[in-house]
Amino acid sequence: MTNLKKISVNPWDFTLYQKKDGEFILKVMFSEGDYKIDVARFFLFSFDEMVKPLDVDYVKSISENIRANYNSFQSRELSKKEFDDLV
């Protein structure tokens, strides 16, 4: 049984999950390096912070903001292992 429910997806951009406790995890795709390798990064948001989780454009704007201002969101980042432990 999974502890996460997939809420919203925009392929090659983001996937939004909700935990059983109401918190959200936003998986954001980054293209890194000279060869633009896709890398998934995971960010934790409280229930109150994700105002419109079903609105793809709203969540897309958050993912774009994370990519543009990664340093501002680093404290919210979960490791791949932390994410995998929730699944």
Quote the pTM value: 0.90
Q: How do the domains of the chain map onto residue ranges?
A: 4-86
- Main-chain phi, psi angles of 32, to 5 degrees: -125, 155
Residues of the chain with pLDDT > 70: what percent? 98
pLDDT of 44 > 80? The answer is yes
Mean pLDDT of the residues in the chain: 92
- Main-chain phi, psi angles of 54, to 5 degrees: -90, -5
Mean pLDDT of 41-52: 94
pLDDT computed for residue 3 by the predictor: 86
